[in-house]
Every structure is written in structure tokens, then in C-alpha cells.
Amino acid sequence: MGKPRLIVIIRHAQSEGNKNKAIHQTVPDHRVKLTSEGIRQAAEAGERLLKLLRPEDTLRIITSPYLRTRETTNGILSQLSRHPSASKIKVYEEPRIREQDFGNFQPCTAEMERMWHERAAYGHFFYRIPNGESAADAYDRVSGFNESLWRQFADEDFPSVLVLVTHGLMTRIFLMKWYHYSVEYFEDLKNIDHCQFVLMEKNPVTDKYELKTELRTWSAERKKEEDRQQPEGGPSAKDLKKLEAAAASLEVIYGGCANGCSHGKTNKLRTNASSGLARSSNGEAESVTTRALRNKLAVLEAGRDFGGSRSGAGSRTASDDETGSADEEMSKPSDVLAHSHNAQSSEPAKALEDLIRRGSRDDARAELLGDVAQEDGGVRL
């Protein structure tokens, strides 16, 4: 058969998480099941799919491995038993079309509300959920899935209809990759409804898939609302409240420490410009360079590097029989490098401690540390 004549994308039916978002605080996202209404929606989706199929059609269903998509798939299958090829329907689970990862158990409702507002301000596509992933991360795995599909389309026995049972955001991501949507258009797209079908039909002339389902966008919804308000002489009282809430949200400053920053008040070094001394929160006087060197020593003794970036540049990733990276080597103080290279020693901490003892109040010593002179007086981990 080759390329299927029809690709059907179906969002899962209503789940308990859709009805009560707080459930994600105690139930893993992949274990959230359908509601009784969702079970009904899944069976109804099976009826609609049966009407779309031709008697000669063969069918393959690929589903996200989440419980709510599995249950939706089962509901659909329960209605396909009347199709002539029902016994030949193949079902596969595909983790790459799972829901966007939202960071394991979700925090309290207030924190989630703050996070959703922050995501709206930052941008839905690039905003990375704490301990989870961004839509851009999901796009990367869906890209690999799409490429796998194209390779499978080369098989002569590939079914004539392909059904993908997935999630709302993942439907938009799939279409974004397939039809090369811009980030801006993705941001404008609204989620499809539960168990709504998105139909992609192959054009027999061009051999390309034409999107037969009209997608809803936020901009179109706003335009409709504006047109509705014109003959009515302006926005309603309800609309004015929405506008006021939106205006208030614009005054919120996002970023920084989500739960309130106290890092400037805890263990912050205060430098006395005239004496060159730093005073810690416990009242001990110590030179900035001495404190910096001691911080370096603590990091070395803990077995961690003190250069590189958040992505791990400068970290040791090689196996025991491999040498460290250039970034790792260059992140060490020059005296420690000389000691370890000339004496073939594995004691950089001892060499650094010697530096402290030889007189750490000399500001020239700070140059040996490179990245240690930072605004907060700490080290970059």
C-alpha cells in the first residue's frame, strides 16, 4: 500500500486531570485515567472512525503510552469490531508522542497558576517547565517520530489508514513539524477538543497530505469577539473584568527566584573598600581573595569542577581510561595545573590550601582563579 490515504490524529478523551487539575499533585501524569464522560467520548470516537473507514481499509493505531490515551484507544477499538479488517488492526505504543513532561508531581495550585502565567509571558514554545520540558523539547522527539513514519511509509504493506491517539499540545507539535509552522503560528493555535479528529488526507495527484480540519486560533477568536462587540456598543461588564485582569497581569515581573529571593541576605559577603576585607554573616573578617580561595578548595574537595556552564561544560564525563576535556583542564588554577602536571599528583586541593597559607590577601592571587571574581563573591558551580 505504501503511504496511507488518511492520517487521523485524535486527542484523548476527558481525563480526571482535565476535570480536576489538583490531581496531578498526587497522581503521576502518565497514570491519570479517563472520567466516565471520557469513556463515553472514546466509544463515540470509535463510532465516528468506523464511519470514516472504507470496507477495504486496513488500520494501524499508534498511541501515547499514557493511561488516558490507552483507555481512549480501547474505547475506539471497542466500536471497530464491525469492520471487515477488525482482526488485522495493529496497535503500537510510541513514547515519543507522549504528553509534554510537566516535572513529575506538580506543586500546589497557587504555584502552578504562577507558572502558567509565567509561561504565557515567556512564550509557550520555549518555556521549559521546571524539572520538565518545553514545547521545543517535545518538538525534537516528535521530529524523530515523523521521520520514522516516513521510513515506514516505504513499506508496501503499510495500512491505508493511520490513527495517532495523543494529546492536545502534541497534536499541535506534530502539525507544526509536518507542515513547517512558525513558532508564532504555533503560539496562536488553540488546543483541539477531547476526541476531536484532525484529518490529513493524501492528495493522489501531488502525493502530499492536505489538512482537512480547520484549526482554531486565538487571534481568530479575538477577531470574532471584537466584531461581536462593535454592534453592541463596546465590551460587556464581563469583558471589562477580563481586560482589567489582563492589564494587572502585565504588571507582574517574572523571572528570578519564584518563591521570593533571600539570597542577598544569607551568607552574602560585604566588602570594605578601604581595607579590602569581606565580612561574612557570622561577623568573621576575611579578605575577599582568601574567601574565594577557600570556596575553590571546598569545591575541589567535593570533587566538582568550578568552570563551565549550566549545561555541564568543564565537567568530567570521560571514562577512567580517558583524559579529561580541555575545558576541565583550563578550569583549574594555574598553580594547581603546574603541580598536577609536573608531579603527576592527584592532590589539587592540597596545592590550593598551600596557596591560602602563603598569603591569600595579595589581590594578585585572585588572578589565578579566573572566574572567581563575581558580584556575589561566590564561585560558579
Q: Please write the tens of the pLDDT for every residue from 13-43.
A: 999 999 999 999 999 999 999 999 999 999 9
* 301 among known catalytic residues: no
Q: How far is CA 182 from the centre of its chain?
A: 18
12 is catalytic: yes
- The C-alpha atoms of residue 314 and residue 332 are separated, in whole angstroms, by 10
- Host H or E run for residue 292: helix 288-301
Quote the pLDDT of residue 322.
37
Say if residue 354's pLDDT is above 70: no
Q: Write out the CATH class of domain 6-216.
A: alpha beta
pLDDT for 142-171, tens place per residue? 999 999 999 999 998 999 999 999 999 999
Whole-structure pTM value: 0.65
Ordered by start, the domain boundaries in the chain are 6-216, 288-369
| Residue 237 scores a pLDDT above 90 | no
Of 99-113, 128-142, 275-289, the range with the highest mean pLDDT is 128-142
Catalytic residue among 71, 94, 99, 328: 99
CA distance 73 to 46: 9
Give the C-alpha separation, 77 to 71, whole Å: 10
Mind listing the pLDDT tens digit for each residue in 51-69? 999 999 999 999 999 999 9
Q: Which residues of 129-138 are buried (b: 16+ CB within 10 A; e: fewer)?
A: beeebbbbbb
DSSP assigned state of 34: B
- What's the rounded Cα separation, in Å, for the pair 13 and 45? 9
